Amino acid sequence: MTFHPLDEAGQWSGDRPFSVYIHVPFCASRCGYCDFNTYVLASQGPDAGQRYLRAAHGEIEAAASALAGHDARPASTVFFGGGTPTMLTPDQLGGLVRHVQQVWGLAPGAEVTTEANPETLSEEVLDGLLEAGINRLSMGMQSADRAVLKLLDRVHTPGRAVEMARLARRCGFDDISLDLIFGTPGETLESWRTSLRTALSADPDHISAYSLSVEEGTRLAARIRRGEVPMTDEDDLADKYLASEEILTGAGFVNYEVSNWARPSTGPDGLVDRHRAEHNMAYWLGHDWWGIGPGAHSHLGRARWWNVK
């Protein structure tokens, strides 16, 4: 029996914004704390990227076919998540953006985001991303502490995310987000405060600060179980969250969601908080979205489903 989402979606009236999520499951290496659906690109064969692209484009066509004849709306947001989407070239990502635009269209002022590891970026790549139609950059900084990055198995060096954020601004990005993680075993409160201040020195428009979650099956969980590193401490996590609120709101950011702070600004339409992650807002507000790629989740009307990993 073939699953058709609109069979379960109920009366899909088309009155809610529509978003597209595209999961790119490749990374250069696997971080010890990560339990996302990701794979080391070099281990997947020489044509893994091309096989992925054929499947992703095919799935966009299948989604467009499923929605044909219904009140499909242009995409108000497109989000490339992972993994590290910038393991693909800007032209390859741009081809997916163009395909989304071809089958659904993009709403005026649509937010098009890609996540990125700082080590995958350069001036040439950043220029290419802008040319591809990507207008929002979300970089994984995690920490400014070398020891914390090492424990998390992050491959970038301290300072690289700040350097790339500043370069992205010079290239023309006007919506830049940095992702941070607090609560890594061995991280001090002062180390976390330094990471926050370092992130702010890059003059980003948005900061996400996530509490470290130790997930079963990860290398970090195994190390904690063997007693090599201590378990995260809830009081320590709470202290660091409060420090995040103090430092980020003190810098003028607005805490609009539990782990997210945005720099307020007023656009030509008079709306403020335009630097919020509008794609993530679509999740939190229960809008409709279609997920492309392995393990991606979708939500339409009253139906929710997800792809196999």
**Res 34: pLDDT:** 64
**Res 1: pLDDT:** 38
**Overall average pLDDT of the 141-156 stretch:** 86
Q: Between 169 and 2, where is the model more confident?
A: 169
Is the model's pLDDT at 273 over the cut of 60? no
Is the model's pLDDT at 144 over the cut of 90? yes
**Res 12: pLDDT:** 56
How do 18-24 and 75-82 pair as beta strands?
Answer: parallel
Q: d(Cα 232, Cα 224) in Å, to the nearest integer?
A: 9
**Res 20: pLDDT:** 98
The model's confidence at residue 8, banded by pLDDT at 50, 70 and 90, is low
Element of type H or E holding 98? helix 90-103
Q: Between 282 and 37, where is the model more confident?
A: 282
**Overall average pLDDT of the 270-295 stretch:** 89
User: Can you read off the two tokens belonging to residue 124?
Assistant: 């040439």
The model's confidence at residue 58, banded by pLDDT at 50, 70 and 90, is very high
Domains of the chain: 20-301 (3.20.20.70)
The Cα angle at residue 285 between residues 283 and 291, in degrees rounded to 5: 25
**Res 269: pLDDT:** 63
The single-letter code of the amino acid at 49 is: G
Q: d(Cα 46, Cα 184) in Å, to the nearest integer?
A: 35
Percentage of residues in the chain with pLDDT exceeding 70? 90
Output b/e per residue, 16-31; b: 16+ Cβ within 10 A: bbbbbbbbbbbbeeeb
Nearest to 145 by CA among 179, 186, 115: 186
Give tens-digit pLDDT for 121-137: 999 999 999 999 999 99
**Res 258: pLDDT:** 94
Paired residues of 275 in beta bridges: none
- In sequence order, the 6+-apart residues with CB closer than 8 A to the CB of 5 are 66, 298, 300, 303, 305
The model's confidence at residue 43, banded by pLDDT at 50, 70 and 90, is confident
Average pLDDT over the chain reads 89
Inter-CA distances, 130 with 14, 34, 93, 168, 175, Å: 30, 28, 11, 10, 11
Q: Between 261 and 45, where is the model more confident?
A: 261
